[in-house]
């Protein structure tokens, strides 16, 4: 029997895959997969704009100058809320890819590769974060129409807030999606849990006008701080409920906690007998 092997190049076996390279590759895959689906790109950009214009003008004419948002036009008041909604929906929905990856064999092929779970979480979450943060920033183009004229420093701060909110919500999306095996169940959770989260974030109505328990829920809702931070940055002249640094600190904490939860979820399966 011929034992002469066809000699193929043997790359030096890497000592450890590490976290960054696999995380980078999963991040990049998420982005490439997104822009190759043109309908997804169009839908994500067009729908929030439509939402803002239709709901904003409707509410604006119904509650003209009567709201506790002061003398602000409702279209302007509503603008940061729509920005957060874009981030919320994109962040959560991009993590539906975790379920798709699981349904197809892709997730399996990552799980049998010598990749730390933290790299999987980091790559997927940063991928979703990038997509939703970029979309949020694109929506910022309309800020002048909402009466917000930003200098470069403000844009940078807005970008930081947008990133933190995106990261936290994508982490949350990952943690919800990881144990699920159907996208229907995922939709159920979104309707039950995430839409109220947005409604009670000060996006639609201000905290000052809310009744007792609703107000309490808004206080503990981390999204409130995202909406509030954006509103403070976009309309510095308006009275703020929280200071910008404290709102951003809370958002950073929220991001860390969500990433931790996502990481714990991703590690859960290996510690159980049946992965």
Contact between 105 and other proteins by CB under 8 A: the answer reads yes
Which of 19, 28, 41, 189 binds other proteins (CB under 8 A)? It is 28
Do 166 and 254 meet the contact criterion of CB atoms below 8 Å apart?
no
Contact between 110 and other proteins by CB under 8 A: the answer reads yes
Contact between 274 and other proteins by CB under 8 A: the answer reads yes
Contact between 42 and other proteins by CB under 8 A: the answer reads no
Phi, psi of 95, deg, nearest 5: -80, -5
Task: Pick the closest to residue 83 from 49, 59, 58 (CA basis).
Answer: 49
Contact between 104 and other proteins by CB under 8 A: the answer reads yes
Q: Which is nearer to other proteins, 152 or 273 (CB)?
A: 273
Task: Pick the closest to residue 46 from 142, 129, 115, 124 (CA basis).
Answer: 142
> What size, in residues, is the chain?
275
Q: Which is nearer to other proteins, 60 or 116 (CB)?
A: 116
Contact between 114 and other proteins by CB under 8 A: the answer reads yes
Residue 21 burial (C-beta neighbours within 10 Å; 0-12, 13-18, 19+): middle
Stretch of 26-34, 135-143, 193-201, 232-240 lying at the interface with other proteins (CB under 8 A): 26-34
Contact between 220 and other proteins by CB under 8 A: the answer reads no
Q: How many CA atoms lie within 13 A of 52 on its CB side?
A: 23
Q: Which is nearer to other proteins, 110 or 161 (CB)?
A: 110
Q: Which is nearer to other proteins, 112 or 237 (CB)?
A: 112
Give the other-Cβ count within 10 Å of 2's Cβ.
Answer: 4
Do 165 and 226 meet the contact criterion of CB atoms below 8 Å apart?
yes
Provide, rounded to whole angstroms, the least separation between the CB of residue 117 and other proteins: 11
Number of chain residues interacting with other proteins (CB under 8 A): 43
Give the Cα separation of 97 and 189 in Å (integer). Answer: 16
Q: Which is nearer to other proteins, 211 or 271 (CB)?
A: 271
DSSP 8-state secondary structure symbol assigned to residue 68:
T
User: In the complex, which residues of this chain contact other proteins (CB under 8 A)?
Assistant: 1-3, 5-6, 8-18, 21-22, 24-26, 28-29, 32-33, 36-37, 103-106, 108-115, 270, 273-275
């Amino acid at each position: 029997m011929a034992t002469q092997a066809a000699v193929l190049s043997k790359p030096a076996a890497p000592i450890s895959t590490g976290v960054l390279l696999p995380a980078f590759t999963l991040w990049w895959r998420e982005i490439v997969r997104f822009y190759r689906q043109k309908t997804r790109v169009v839908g994500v950009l067009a729908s929030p704009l439509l939402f803002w214009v239709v709901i904003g003008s409707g509410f604006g004419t119904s509650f003209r100058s009567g709201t506790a948002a002061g003398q602000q036009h409702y279209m302007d008041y509503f603008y940061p809320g729509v920005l957060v909604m874009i981030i919320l929906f994109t962040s959560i929905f991009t993590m539906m890819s975790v379920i798709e990856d699981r349904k197809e064999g892709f997730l399996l092929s990552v799980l049998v590769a010598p990749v730390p779970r933290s790299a999987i979480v980091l790559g997927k979450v940063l991928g979703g974060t990038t997509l939703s943060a970029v979309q949020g920033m694109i929506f910022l183009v309309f800020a002048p129409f909402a009466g917000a004229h930003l200098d470069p420093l403000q844009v940078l701060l807005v970008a930081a807030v947008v990133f933190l909110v995106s990261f936290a919500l994508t982490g949350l999306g990952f943690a919800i999606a990881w144990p699920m095996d159907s996208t229907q169940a995922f939709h159920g959770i979104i309707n039950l849990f995430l839409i109220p989260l947005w409604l009670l974030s000060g996006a639609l109505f201000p905290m000052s006008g809310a009744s007792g328990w609703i107000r309490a829920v808004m206080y503990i809702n981390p999204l409130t701080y995202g909406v509030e931070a954006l509103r403070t940055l976009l309309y510095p002249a308006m009275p703020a409920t929280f200071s910008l640094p404290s709102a951003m600190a809370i958002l950073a904490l929220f991001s860390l906690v969500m990433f931790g939860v996502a990481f714990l979820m991703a590690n859960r399966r290996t510690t159980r007998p049946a992965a």
